[in-house]
Structure formats: structure tokens, C-alpha cells
Amino acid sequence: MPELPEVETVRQGLVPAIVGKIIKQAIIRRPDLRWPFPPDMQKRLEGRRVEQIDRRSKYLLFRLDSQDVWLVHLGMSGRFSFQGGTLGQFAHATGGDPKHDHVTLLMDDGVVLNFNDPRRFGAMDIIEAGQESDHKLLCVLGPEPLGNGFNPELLAQSLAMRGSAIKSALLDQKLVAGLGNIYVCEALHRAYIAPNRRCNEIRGSEVLALYHAIIEVLKEAIAAGGSSLRDYRQADGRLGYFQHGFQVYGRSGQMCLRQDCGGVITKIIQSNRSSFYCATCQT
């Protein structure tokens, strides 16, 4: 479900509720999500203080006592919520779906952190601190789009080597990490680039526009608390509202919102995923 802005919003919501606290008990109700949990996950969570929560692409990294890192991916439908402690006003946050509450952490101050994931495309692992960059899921990731490693020259270089459609390329986490279907569609619209354009046929000026579009759309979405489609919520239960800012995603048949464009948003299927774009202003 969630893309970079949603994961970042969840991270920001978890920090005040969880960081600095000790995991008193870890309740793990099934052996796996997408993959089996490490057999010692419970042991390596319990008794640990959460020193920091970082994000890499769509992964959350809970740093535990400088020893281990609890790696969590929300997949399509994964969701964190918490209640109790000093943040009792968010008592509605657990969502009332105990059937898919797969992992629950009881913190030493009474806060209950719950991980719910109906589709079970989520993932969890425990990594020894310092070994993150060698982890099989993290080592393949491209640059962080809002970090220093992402720049127009690198993007141009990566695109020049590819013959695939730009839409598919931007979904490839090796090229740039953290984009998903929604924000790729939105970024391409902002950059006036059609999703079926071949990467190596995109001109330098367009690559620059795309670079800025990616950064802008992600920053705006984070500022809006992510996009709430279906059941996505922030960790404290609030809804994000960037979905109201979509220019193309989910708008097939409707008018392009770009001033003086007059086009209609169309939906095509690329690599089995929906792409939304305006064939009038995106070329």
C-alpha cells in the first residue's frame, strides 16, 4: 500500500510514541508475513530500548540499543497503530481488526504498538546493527529521492541505459527508491512525460523536469500526511489528505486539471499496473 510519503508519515507518527521506550513484551501471532520471521525475533525485540526510527525507501528501521535493527516493510496493507500511555487520546487507533493484528509490542510505559496487515505482503527482519547495507532487501535499493545521492545527472545516466517504459523504470527501486504506482503517475504528469515513453528517448530538459517533479510530489505528499486510499492511516490514526491533490491517479475519464489543457485523463495498463495520464499534455 504505502509509498515513501506514507512510510515517512508513519515513521514521524511513531517517533514520539515509541522512541526512548523499552519493549517489555513482543507478541508474535504467526510465524511469517511475506517471508518467515527470524526465529529469534521475539527474543531480540524484548527488553530492548528503541533508540531511533529511521526510514530507507519504504522500509522502517527501528534501532534497538545500538545492537539490532528491526526492519519492517508495510507491503500493500500493513499498518502500525498505537494506543495507551501518555498518548491515550489516540485510543481509536487500533482499528478494530484483531484478525490481522500479527505483531504487538507492549512498551514499558503502557503504550501498545500494533502491526496489522490483512494481505500479509509486509515483511519483518532483524539485522545486526551496522550490517544494514549488506541486507538482501536493502543492498539492492537505489538512491533515496530526497537524499543527496539523487541528482539529475544520475537520473539521466540511469535512464539512458534503459529501453523500457519510463513508468516501469520509475517503479524499479534500483533506479530510485521509494516511488510506487501513485507517485510515479503524479510525477510524470508534473513533468509532462507520457508513461509509455522509452527511458532512453527522454531529453535532458525532460529528465530535469522529472527530477524536480519527483522531489516536489514526494515533499508535498509528506507535508499532507500521505495519501489515504482505502484503509491507509497515519500511525496515530489520523488520515492523510494528499489524495485530494492527485492530478491523474484514479481520475480516468475526468478532465486534466492543468490550466488550459482540456485533455481527459486516460488509464492504460503497463506491466500489469494501472497508469493514469493525460495524453494531451503528457507526450
- Chain residues that interact with DNA, rule: CB under 7 A: 1-3, 6, 34, 57-59, 73, 75-76, 99-100, 118-121, 137, 140, 161-165, 168-169, 171, 173, 179-182, 199, 227-232, 270-274
> 25 CB contacts (<8 Å, ≥6 apart)?
46, 105, 106
If the CB atoms of residues 84 and 195 are measured against DNA, the closer one turns out to be 195
Positions of E strands within 112-170: 112-116, 123-128
- Which of 11, 24, 120, 273 is the catalytic position? 273
**Shortest reach from residue 103's CB to DNA, in Å:** 15
Grid cell, residue 213, equals 517533479
Cβ at position 108, least distance to DNA in Å: 31
2 labelled catalytic: yes
- Indicate if 3 belongs to the active site: yes
Question: Which 3 state secondary structure label does DSSP give 31?
Answer: coil
Which lies closer to DNA via its Cβ, residue 39 or residue 163? 163
Q: From the CB of 151, what's the least distance to DNA, in Å?
A: 20
Closer residue to DNA, CB minimum distance, 12 or 164? 164
Whose grid coordinates read 522509452? 198
Residue 51: active-site member: no
Q: What is the DSSP string of 161-204?
A: T--SBHHHHHH-TTTSSS--HHHHHHHHHHTT--TTSBGGG--H
Closer Cβ to DNA, 11 or 49, answer by number:
11
How many Cα neighbours within 13 Å face the side chain of 257?
12
- Grid coordinates representing 231? 484503509
CB 179 within 8 A of CB 146: no
Under DSSP, is residue 106 helix (H, G, I), strand (E, B) or coil? strand
C-alpha torsion angle, residues 128, 133, 139, 142 (rounded to 10): 140
* 111/138 with CB nearer DNA: 138
Given a contact cutoff of 8 angstroms between Cβ atoms, the answer to whether 218 and 5 are in contact is: yes
> Annotated catalytic, 132?
no
**Nearest distance from C-beta of residue 36 to DNA, angstroms:** 13
- Tell the smallest beta-carbon distance from residue 97 to DNA (Å): 8
The catalytic position among 44, 55, 56, 58 is 58
The residues that are catalytic are: 2-3, 58, 273
